Each structure stands twice: as structure tokens, then as C-alpha cells.
Amino acid sequence: MTVNQQKLGSLVERLIGEISAGYGGVMVSLGDKLGLYKAMAGAGPLSSQEVARRSGCAERYVREWLNSQVAGGYIDYHATSRTYELTPEQAMVLADGLSPVFLPHAWEIVSSMWADEPKTLAAFKTGKGVSWGEHDERLFCGIGAFYRNAYSANLVNEWLPMLSGVTAKLEKGATVADIGCGHGHSTVLMAKAFPESRFWGFDMHEESIDVARQVARAAGVEDRVRFEVEKADTYARRGYDLLCFFDCLHDMGRPVEAVRYAATAMAEDGTLMLIEPFAGDRVEDNINPVGRLYYAGSTTMCCAHAISENGTHVLGAQAGPSQLEAILNTAGFGTVRRAVETPFNLIIEARR
């Protein structure tokens, strides 16, 4: 076998970059949890001593951490003054917890994937599944925080207005179900925006429902939001005007049954809103950083949970619009359209 040395060198260089990024993720997580980014946000150039003082951390550790951030391009370094600066753009990504592009919490997902590696190895060997509740607890917090900010930036202002007549119903007073609600951030966002409407969030993971109830209380919307531990085909049918599946249908082993049940639970003129990870229909459509991220997460989480349900489908996070639309059609939805898309999500509207 002849080895192309140039291709070999390029691949090794790429893998070294990936290992460096993995180390960098640990540093990002430390910076977030220790308040180092927040200590620098809006403060201009700072010495390592000043960052240490402002964050309450030991200077020698802080200095080494700062240099790792400079080497990774996450903060700026001023050689003449030997100071470090977090720019406004960097602060949006690393320090502002409410920013739609705040990303440090995503590393909690990666941490959980490493922690769950023995379960994933066993799943590969046996073909068995790993259910959602079996994962390391950092997964639930990471997923909740990662999607919270994206939903906060888009759900009320961009996605719901693209659905035919839904916003008007919500403003007057509608009944809404959020299936697979997780920590309830999507449910609470809608409840805050539409005080005349009433909301139910359902999820099979009891610990997530406990957190969702806390989220609702903290937001002051517990008077119009209820969270219940239910599967996608056991919650109460209430003639919902809007049924939502936020980034969860592809995790289900019986997605057709879940959507068919939703059809029986909605009002005659109700709407189903399906939010799924962005993907094309073919592998070659998804050869990009987002596709890589979703395929990796799908390997350890999405496919693993669907397999654990011993159902009919293992869609994975890159199912693509054609498969999703086929599932909706099979379940009895005659009108299906792609309402909007982002680099991370497909938003599909379905009516019976």
C-alpha cells in the first residue's frame, strides 16, 4: 500500500487541531464556571493579576488559562502591555448567558458523551439501546441550556409568526401542548409571550419535569403552565390548538405513532409545529461542521434512545425533510410545509 505523505500530513494536522479543540473545550467550561469570562466582559485590557482579582481565582492558574485562550483565538492579547481583552463579540459567545450565540454550556453535552463512553461501547457491540434517562446528568443540563438561548432568540419572534394564523390564536387564548419538553424552556418562553393562552409540557423523564416546574416558577408563569410526566402517546387529549415537538421526534422509536396520537389530541383546525435539526436528505448534503456535530450526538444519544424503545424507526438527528414529511403524511397530516429554516433547525408546519 502506497501512502501519500501529503494526505497523511494533512490528516495528522487536522487531528492535532481536533485534539487541541478538545483541550480547549475544557478550558471554555472552566472559564464559564469560574466566572473568568464574565470578569473580563466590558472591562477592556486587563492583566492576569486583575482578572484573578476580579474573578476571585489564583493568579498563576488564571495566567495559564488566559494564555490558552489567546492561543485558541478566544480572547485578545496586547503584547506591549501584557494584557488580555475580551472583545464584545467574544463576550456574546463566552460571557453573556442570555445571548443567542452563548456556547459554553454545549460542552456539558460533550462531557456527558465522554462519561457515557462505556455505555456507548457496549451499545455498539450488542446493538442494544441507551435510553435518555440512563445518560450522565450533564447531558440534560447541557441540552436544556444549549437550546434555551436558540429558542429564546427565534421561537416567538421568528418561528411562530411563520405558522398560518397561530400567533393570532395564541394572542386571543389558545391551548398548547409541548411534547418532549425537557426542562421546559420552550414552553415557558411561549407562556411568557402569550399570557391569554394555557400550556402543557410533557416529557417521560421525571427529573427534567421537576426542573421544568422550577423554570416555570422562576419565570412567574406557573398559573398558566403545567408540566406532567407522560409519554408521547399517553398525555391527555384536550383539543390543542398547537402541538409542538422541539428537537425530539427523531429520538422516538415510534415517531409515526407519536404524530398520529398528536393528530387525535388537537383541535379540528389545530396546527402541529415540528422543530428538527437542520439536515439535507443525503449524506453528501450534511458534510459540514453542523452535520458532523449532529451525527456525533445522534450516535450516542438520538439513535441510542430510539433503539432502546424497540420501535419502528431509528431516524437519527440528520433524518432530513423528506423522511420527516413522509412520517407526517403517514400519520394523517395532509398539509405539510417547511415554514422556515436556520443553520441549526428545520421548522415544519403540519395540518390535518
Print the domain residue range for 19.
5-94
The pLDDT assigned to 244 comes to 98
Would you say residue 144 lies in a domain?
A: yes
Is the pLDDT reported for residue 291 higher than 90? yes
pTM: 0.91
Beta partners for 337? 349
Of 94, 119, 137, the residue at which a domain comes to its end is 94
Would you say residue 100 lies in a domain?
A: no
Q: Are residue 9 and residue 149 in the same domain, yes or no?
A: no
Q: Are strands 240-246 and 175-179 parallel, antiparallel or unpaired?
A: parallel
Region 186-197 average pLDDT = 98
d(CA 257, CA 327): 9
Of 94, 114, 139, the residue at which a domain comes to its end is 94
Q: Which residues have C-beta within 8 Å of that of residue 77, sequence separation ≥ 6?
A: 66, 70, 83, 84, 85
Q: Are residue 140 and residue 26 in the same domain, yes or no?
A: no
The total domain count for the chain is 2
CB 63 within 8 A of CB 109: no
* Digit-coded pLDDT (tens) for 26-58: 999 999 999 999 999 999 999 999 999 999 999
Hey, what's the torsion of the CAs at 119, 124, 129, 132, to 10 degrees?
A: 50
Q: Are residue 44 and residue 155 in the same domain, yes or no?
A: no
Of 94, 122, 147, the residue at which a domain comes to its end is 94
Would you say residue 164 lies in a domain?
A: yes
CATH number, domain with residue 320:
3.40.50.150
Q: Are residue 136 and residue 21 in the same domain, yes or no?
A: no
CATH number, domain with residue 20:
1.10.10.10
Q: Are residue 259 and residue 224 in the same domain, yes or no?
A: yes
* Digit-coded pLDDT (tens) for 134-188: 999 999 999 988 888 889 989 999 999 999 999 999 999 999 999 999 999 999 9
